[in-house]
Amino acid sequence: MRRWKEYILAGLISCFLAVPCLSLADDEKIPEGGGGGAIALQTDGESELLQAVRAKEYEKALQIVNGQIEKNPDDADAYDRRSMIYSLLRWNDEALADCHKAIALEPGKAFHYFNRGAIYEQRKEYPLAINDYTKALSLSQNGDPLQGLMYFNRARAYVAIESYDKALEDVKQGEKLVPAFPQNYILESLIYDKKGDKKMADMSRHIGIMYEFMHRGDYFLAGSVAEEAGLYDQSLALLDEAVKRRPDDSQVYSIRGLVYAQMGQDELAIADLTKALSLKETAMDYNNRGECYRHLKRFDLAKQDYDQSVRLATDDSDRLAVYDSLGQLAMDQGDYPKAVQYLTQALAVKPYEDGYRLRSQVWRRLGDTKKADQDEAVAQEIEQRQLLGS
């Protein structure tokens, strides 16, 4: 089995919060945090109202829309705009009254029900929110850019009432309509967590973070997250773009080399890792290039890289990886006593399941079934602890 010393993004993943998208273009969405619904502002171009909302000058925005309503008291969209501003001011009673007015003026328009559903969601009146989102979906046309957000909002409301299967159905529908909307995947991750599916929760979280970094224009971090999730094709496409933007960044070549290695394209991996090492020497890159050479049975070059990795190792993660690699190299070459030595060094750094399983195989090759059984038992114990989350 091939293993690689990887960049660890666990800290990044655990600390990441799905930052609401607050760019207010025409017909733009404003996903609210903390359990509230995502609301929307419909404006025409770079209006004074839009500028005021962007600047969070809500009192000024309120004056503008009040003027619009005075000029045309039957303009349903103006009441929607004012309800949105009231909502941003947390004046939910006033926002709800304007939503009722907009619906009374135009009862057949999906957007009005969508906005009222968002207000109900902010008020934690989730069944009423779900009814309005459902009505909005029934009135909306296929291809309406807000449909994806309607499904997203209704899914959030379903989560709030613990109706997780329905929430998951809505999230999946939203992903079909707006496949690169990060918050969909973060919500999907939460739903899978609630359903007890940690593997799918982790995958969805990674995808959401990947899209968030894409939107921010950080293709390196997006590609790194995709690599961690095992989405190698997506990762490679993102990292190709990152190389164009950051051609002198060793980390970009390191991660792309790792992706090539995971895909079994060893020669391409070696080329990228060599480029990374020419820019900055690291124990990880020597170890990973050594793994590629070992897989190609170029054992002398693999040993040279592992020795360099040992020289540059600065932490336990580096040391565990390279001693593990040296142990596998010794196994490949049939030097089982040396394989035991290296794997024992790796396990002294940190006990890990694969290390015990590998050393168990070596003990069997050496004819010591007692030690082999002991290592296999320890490996099974570690596996059980991991499955139980302890």
Domain regions of the chain by residue span: 11-204, 305-390
Environment class of residue 332 by beta-carbon count within 10 Å: exposed (0-12), middle (13-18) or buried (19+)? Answer: middle
- In tens, the pLDDT along 78-101 reads 999 999 899 999 898 999 999 999
- In tens, the pLDDT along 284-294 reads 999 999 999 99
Task: Return the number of other C-beta atoms located less than 10 Å from residue 152's C-beta.
Answer: 27
Environment class of residue 318 by beta-carbon count within 10 Å: exposed (0-12), middle (13-18) or buried (19+)? Answer: buried
How many helices and strands in the chain, by DSSP H and E?
21, 2
CATH 3.40.30.10 is right for the domain spanning 305-390: no
Residue 340's SS3 state is helix
Nearest Cα neighbor of 99 from 114, 88, 89, 91 is 114
Q: How far is CA 308 from CA 285, 287, 296, in A?
A: 10, 8, 19
What tokens does 314 get?
């600065």
- Matching CATH topology for 11-204 and 305-390? yes
Whether the pLDDT of residue 142 is over 70: the answer is: yes
Mean confidence (pLDDT) of the chain = 88
- In tens, the pLDDT along 16-30 reads 333 323 222 233 343
Q: How far is CA 90 from CA 28, 95, 104, 257, 365, in A?
A: 19, 8, 23, 50, 71
Please state, in angstroms and rounded to a whole number, the distance separating the CA atoms of residues 167 and 181: 16
The CATH class for the domain spanning 11-204 reads mainly alpha
